[in-house]
Amino acid sequence: MKKFFSLIELNKAIKEKLDVVNTKPFQKRKGNRQEAFLEEERFALIPLPHSPYEIASWAKTVVQPDYHIKVDYNYYSVPYDYIKYVVDVRVTRTIIEVFYKNIRIASHKRSNKSGGDFSTIPDHMPRDHRKYASFDKEFILEWGATTGPATLLTIERILESYPTEKQGLKSAYALMKLADKYSIERIEKACERVLSYTPRPKLKSIQTILKTGHDKLPVEDTSKQLSTQKNDNVYGFTRGADYYGGNNNDN
């Protein structure tokens, strides 16, 4: 029995023995194992994977109306045609893959952020959303100007309210998406409304105005309605007694 004192020595000895075994002639047919492999089997080989195998977990989820799925509090896009479809999601340490009926419909690099990150592929968007995929400050301001002066001013105030331009653009983009659900006319009216209440408008306030339909009311009607509510926060900001010119002692 031969002893080996390292893995390198052992592998070298195994290779030598393999060469002997593979070149040894067959007993009942012509040739040897090496020749049989080259002539009969090698053509069927496929390349090895470029990356090592990773353990994956699977889950089922429903594609949301914004054509994204949620994984670990981050969001990944799929083709918008699959909205409301149940899909299978394969999750590894580095990749998010989405399958529908065993066919892969989307693949994303897994986000390493703790939550709230969006990974969106432009081809997954409806055509009318793609124009927003690579928007910048110039684009968002141009859109605001075409929508109306109140919308433009609101966007400028929103951009000014954030410490970084990227954060402000994200909020402005959400305002643009509201126009898909409502209309640019209602967006302009809602911006007029919110600017009449505060010089520092917020997206949440505009969403509330649109949801409640207050953008459709005459300004004076809304003012009367609000005057009956003390210290209210209907639109996401608080007004005390000084705002109404009263002393708030008439409880």
Taking only the tens place, the pLDDT of each residue in 67-79 is 999 999 999 999 9
- Residue 190 near residue 210, CB atoms below 8 Å: yes
- pLDDT tens profile 230-245: 344 444 554 444 444 4
Angle at 176 between CA 192 and CA 87, to 5 degrees: 140
- Which residues is 70 bridged to in the sheet? 75
Position 130 scores a pLDDT of 65
- pLDDT tens profile 190-219: 999 999 989 999 999 999 999 999 888 876
- Which residues is 106 bridged to in the sheet? 98
Q: Enter the pTM of the model.
A: 0.43
Give, in order, the Cα–Cα distances in Å from 19 to each of 41, 119, 212. 18, 51, 81
Which two structure tokens, joined as six digits, stand for 200?
């520092």
Element (H, E) at 145: helix 137-147
User: In the Cβ-directed half-sphere of 95, how many Cα atoms lie within 13 Å?
Assistant: 12
Q: CA-to-CA distance for 67 and 120, rounded, in angstroms?
A: 9
Phi, psi at 197, each rounded to 5°: -100, -30
Position 118 scores a pLDDT of 86
